[in-house]
Amino acid sequence: MPSTIYFIRHGETDWNAEGRLQGQHDIPLNARGVAQAETAGRILARLVADPGRLPWLASPLARTRKTAEHARGALRLDPRGYETDARLMEIRFGDWEGLTWPEVTNRDPEGAAAREADKWGFRPPGGESYDDLVTRIAPFFDALEGDNVVIAHGGVARALVAHRCDVPPERAPHLDIWQGRVLVMQGRSYRWV
C-alpha cells in the first residue's frame, strides 16, 4: 500500500474570514480556527490508530504551528511534537498580500484580469505563481517516506494535488481546500474526511 499524507490546512484567521490574501503574512488563528484545528486532530484520530507515531511537519508560519499544536493537544500528544520546513509556507501574493479580491481588482485591474485568465501561471507583483509553488514544494513532498501528517496552507494543498494526483493545472487553483478537515492523499488519489 502506498504511503499516505494526512494534510491539514491551518484553521481560520481573521484575514480568512475577511477574504484577505494572507500569503506569507503571519496572521494568528482566531477562535474558530482553534476549534477547527482541534476538530482536524479528532478526525485524524479516527483515520490513524496511533497518530503520535507519525512524523508531523508544518509550515513555520504561526497559523500552521498553532494548528499543529491544537490538533496534537486534542489527541493528548505533546503540542510541540512537530517539525517545520520553510518550503511549506503559503504561496506569496507579494504586493497583493493583505488585500481582498475587490481591492486587488480596484488597485490592479490589469493584474487581476491576467490572474483570472491564468490562475496557475500568473505571478502577482513580488509574488509567486502556483507553478513556482510546485517547484518549491515538490522536493519536500517527493522526499517523504512512509505516512506523514502535514500542516500547511490552501495554496500548498492545491499545488500538491496537482503535483501528486494529476489534477490539471487549470483546475487545481479552483479546488476548495477545507479548514477543520483532513485531506488524505494516497498514491495518486485524494479524498476529504
Convert the pLDDT of each residue in 73-109 to its tens digit. 999 999 999 999 999 999 999 999 999 999 999 999 9
pLDDT value, residue 2: 73
Is 63 marked active-site?
Answer: yes
Asked about 106 being catalytic, the answer comes back as: no
Question: Does the active-site annotation cover 174?
Answer: no
The catalytically annotated residue of 12, 20, 63, 97 is 63
| CATH code for the domain in which residue 17 is found | 3.40.50.1240
| Catalytic (active site) residue 65 | no
The grid coordinates listed for 110 are 490589469
Q: Are 133 and 39 in contact (CB under 8 A)?
A: no
* DSSP labels, 147-184: -EEEEE-HHHHHHHHHHHH---TTTGGG----BSS-EE
90 is catalytic: yes
Q: Name every residue whose Cβ is closer than 8 Å to that of residue 71 and which is 6 or more positions away in sequence.
A: 8, 37, 38, 40, 41, 44, 151
70 catalytically annotated: no
> What is the extent of the structural domain holding 108?
4-192
* Total tally of structural domains belonging to the chain: 1
Q: Which of 20, 153, 158, 163 is catalytic?
A: 153
Distance, in Å, from the CA atom of 101 to the CA atom of 124, rounded to the nearest integer, reads 12
Q: What are the pLDDT digits (tens) for 32-55?
A: 999 999 999 999 999 999 999 999
